[in-house]
Amino acid sequence: MHHTPTPASPAQDPRSHPSAELVQVVLGECSVADADTVFTVLRAHFPSDRGVDAPRQTEQESPAVWTGEFRVAGSPGPARGVLLAGPVTADLQGGPVAVAHLREALEAAFVVSPVGTVSGDQEIEVQLRLTGAEHGAPPGDA
């Protein structure tokens, strides 16, 4: 089966690429501003289904989560450290290579602590805790 991008599914649309390159990102336990910061960092490196949409707070009292899907075809470029107001829980799910590349982008911008990993036949799920890089410097340059 061939999938040819059409005007309704442009090349930048992550749904038009092989699933091995897709990583679903779920952010939780964080502020709207911090969720937007993380997605902005990821969009700087990888095409996303989110476009430039910023997360929005709803009126629900239950904890909010934000999701995005990213097409990760290679290693990210360099990034500067980014400040966060508080910790962010990030769940990454996708092909092992794509998840590793997306994690590299997060590690370049934030301090990343692994929480857990679940491996399947062709997918991996990783939970990370992100905190802001100290004083906006890249995490390795402190």
- What's residue 81's pLDDT? 83
Bigger pLDDT: 84 vs 14:
84
Token output for 67: 């999701």
For residue 91, list its beta bridge partners: 26, 127
- State the average pLDDT for the chain: 79
* Predicted local confidence at residue 53, as pLDDT: 62
pTM of the model: 0.75
Beta strands of 1-142 (E only): which ranges?
22-28, 65-71, 88-94, 110-119, 124-132
Q: Give the pLDDT mean for 98-106.
A: 95
Confidence of residue 55 (pLDDT cuts 50, 70, 90): low
Residue 57 pLDDT: 52
Phi-psi region of 135 (alpha: psi -120 to 50; beta: other; left: phi over 0): left
Q: What distance in Å separates the CA atoms of residue 21 and residue 94, rounded to the nearest whole number?
A: 7
The pLDDT tens digits of the residues spanning 58-101 come to 555 556 788 999 999 888 877 778 899 999 999 999 999 999 99
Give residue 39's region: left, alpha or beta (phi > 0; psi -120 to 50): alpha
